[in-house]
Structure 1
Amino acid sequence: MAHSQPETCEMQLNGVSELIDLLCIDVETDAVEDRPGRDDAPCSKNVLRKQRHWEKQVAAKKSKRREEKQRRKLNRDSGASIDHPEFTKRVMKAITRERLAEAQSTGLKVCVDLSMTDCMSDKEIGRLAGQLRRLYGSNKKAARPFHVFLTDLREDSRLYRECIRMNEGFLNYMMDITEDSCLDRFPPETVVYLTPDAEEALVTVDADKVYVLGGLVDESIQKKLSFSRAAELSVHTARLPIDEYMVKKSNVKNFHSKILAVNQVFDILLTFCDTGSWTQALQTWFPLGKGYEVAPVYSPATQPELED
């Protein structure tokens, strides 16, 4: 018997409804199958807490670095980038290279003795590589940069490899990098080895002298390492005039140290040569955490003039 037209329409609608139901089931099944399993579940509270703690530490370090860069900019107001803000980066780079090239011909000589790295840990080697990067950065910004030498730096040494890894463009640094010792390059009578254990304080910086900084990071604090190295070379020694221009601060831990990083000694020398003032140089670059402060009785007017 033939179906009537209404019955046929109803059957077609039912068929469509069934197909839609099947499609919905397929979609829901796919959605269930695509749901993440237990392996992709959100991290536990403990993991999230550690993650937040790590992020806070990273943010704090970034903030500290920004503050340090800002402090350096404020302190070094004699740099060319401040005097000539209208120059492009390319022009400033060319000016910097020209200034460093001139320093390699006529600049005061500062040498970093890297002969003591064999006794340092990998962590200390990494820190020293970072200090050398900051030292070079300071020299680039200086109005009167030094002629810098890195001596006793062997190409097969850990420090050399770490400098290349950490310091972008290290091989293009405008400084003299050599495997020779400082005495292979300079007469012994011209060498002044700066060490905190020397008896004589450095009064001025002479153009006919070579000032040697001990390239050393010693977290175990073995005493008189740089002084022993100077004695081994049989050269004159001197120390920064910390005792003459600074006094101990009272602090809870009663901590006082005159041992500075190689880049900190370098910055002090740069500022003294630029200003002729040990007070200003020490006040600007001597770390506050070392437990010393500039003695209030001293003023730039009472200090010896820097010889040309």
Structure 2
Amino acid sequence: MSSEDKQTEEIVDTPAEEEEEAEGIKDESQNRNGLSKNQLRKLKKRERWLLVKKEKRKHERLKKKKRKAEAVEKGLDVGPSRKALKQNSMKQSKCQMKVVIDCSFDSFMSEKDVMKLVKQLQSCYSLNRRAENPLQLYICGCSGKTQERLDNIGDCSRWDVNFSPEKYSELFDKSSLIYLSSESDNVLDDLQEDKVYVIGGLVDHNHYKGLCHRLAVEASISHAQLPISQYLEMKSRKVLTVNHVFEILLQYTKTKDWSKSLFQVIPERKGVKCLTNENSRDKTEADTNMKADCDKTDKRADSESAKDEEPTQVKS
């Protein structure tokens, strides 16, 4: 079954967010006095963007409703209901693997990059809540623009996520921590439930290359990279977004197979080619069956987030 056939929960504006956008247009329209021509031009451009965004979200919701109706008519799997999703809590999960997203990089990011990071956090939450056995997800060290942006999400406070303003190093024993970084010389061979895996929540477009790895080394925290080179050949750098790293870990707890987990998640735009014959990008029946074995229900959340802006890179 292709990913288009599977219906997933999309990240859409809440009524509060839509009201906030409308108020934003109204407030900006009332504060034109004293602005330069350049500022007025930017203000008008933002007003147009907000109006287009609202219409685009409305259109996407209608498309989602139509796709779901067509899938039901064809007897296809439309994913778990909201009632079923409520049963997929971290507390009831058979998986006790802890994954932390380190959001202490607020000062290193622009407002636009913070928005991208928060979308990736939303995607991680969506992926986790739709998993049969969710990971134990922690979002730590939020402050400044990142925390403000999260607070603007209407239902963020109700997420089944362990939020903490403290740094991850203050919550967990240092000996249990493993910081995931593409610059590390160590390679993960397995995941252990007595370890805590840390993902760097930094969107920086390669401006701070190696920052997460350097901070982990300075703090004497263990570090490792995903075993990408052992299973895949990539034309681009092995730097993935926060949600892609999280999804790979989530997939591995289900499949116990790095090849399947990596191949399933890493975007095709990175020029991925499997080093094993059984996992090629050819549109063969074997490939289709292999992909069907993996949980693809949350691809929609990531793709919808990426529609409004270009793909970004994150230090993992």
TM-score range, shorter chain: 0.5 to 0.7
TM-score normalised according to structure 2 size: 0.62
Q: Distance in 2 between matches of 1:248 and 1:100?
A: 33
* Residue matched to 2:96: 107
SS at match of 1:192: strand
- Which residue in the other structure is 1:163 paired with? 150
Give the match for residue 38 of structure 1.
none
Whole-Å separation in 1 of the counterparts to 2:248 and 2:142: 24
Q: CA RMSD in A?
A: 3.1
> Going by fraction, where is helix more abundant, 1 or 2?
1
- Offset at residue 100 of structure 1 (A): 2.4
| Equivalence for 2:140 | 151
- Listed as ranges, the gaps of 5+ residues in structure 1 are 1-50, 75-79, 250-255, 300-308
Superposed CA offset, 1:231-255 (max 9, x none): 1321111101111011135xxxxxx
Q: Which amino acid aligns with 2:146?
A: L
Larger RCO of the pair (alpha carbons < 8 Å, separation 6+) = 2
Q: Tell me the CA shift for residue 294 of structure 1.
A: 1.8
* Structure-to-structure mapping, 1:13-28, within 5 angstroms: none
Aligned to 1:94: 86
Q: Are 1:291 and 2:271 counterparts?
A: yes
Is the Cα–Cα contact under 8 Å of residues 198 and 237 in structure 1 kept in the other structure?
yes
Q: Go from structure 1 to structure 2 and tell me whether the alpha carbon gap of 1:279 and 1:189 turns closer, same or farther (over 3 Å shift).
A: same
User: Percent same amino acid among aligned pairs?
Assistant: 26
Aligned to 1:183: 169
Where does residue 29 of structure 1 map in the other structure? none
Q: Gapped runs of 5+ residues in structure 2?
A: 1-47, 72-76, 280-316
How many angstroms apart in 1 are the aligned matches of 2:267 and 2:95? 30
Distance 1:219 1:248 in 2: 18
**In the superposition, relative to structure 1, how do residues 124 and 92 fare at CA in structure 2: closer, same or farther (>3 Å)?**
same
CA distance in 1, matches of 2:223, 2:109: 23
Letter in 2 for 1:112: I
Indicate conservation of the 8 Å contact 1:194/1:239, yes or no. yes
Instruction: Measure the CA separation in 2 of the matches of 1:272 and 1:106.
Output: 11
Q: Is the 8 A contact 2:114 2:146 kept in 1?
A: yes
Matched AA of 2:84: M
Which residue is equivalent to 2:221? 235
Listed one character per residue, the Cα deviations across residues 32-89 of structure 1 (whole Å, up to 9, x for unaligned) are xxxxxxxxxxxxxxxxxxx9xx98xx87xx78xx79xx9xxx9xxxxx974xx6xx63
SS in 1 for 2:198: strand
Whether the 8 Å CA contact 1:193–1:213 is kept in 2: the answer is yes
1:20 is matched with which residue?
A: none
Match of 2:255 in 1: 275
CA separation of 1:178 and 1:248: change in aligned 2, threshold 3 A = closer
Q: Say whether the 8 Å CA contact 2:85–2:130 is kept in structure 1.
A: no
User: What is the count of residue pairs matched by the alignment?
Assistant: 218
Please list the CA deviations of residues 235-290 of structure 1 after superposition, one character each: whole Å capped at 9, or x if unmatched.
Answer: 111101111011135xxxxxx12111111000011111100111111111101112
- Letter aligned with residue 134 of structure 1: S
Match of 2:117 in 1: 128
Deviation at 1:220, TM superposition (A): 4.3
Counterpart of 1:262 in structure 2 is 242
1:214, 1:226 within 8 Å by CA — same for their partners in 2?
Answer: yes
Q: How far off its partner does 1:298 sit?
A: 6.5
Question: CA offset at residue 106 of structure 1?
Answer: 6.1
Structure showing greater Rg: 1
Name the stretch that deviates more: 105-114 or 182-191. 105-114
1:248 to 2:234 alignment: yes
Matches within 5 A, 1:183-202: 183-202=169-188
Give the direction of change, closer, same or farther, for the CA distance of 1:186–1:298 in structure 2 (3 Å limit): farther
Counterpart amino acid of 1:239?
Q
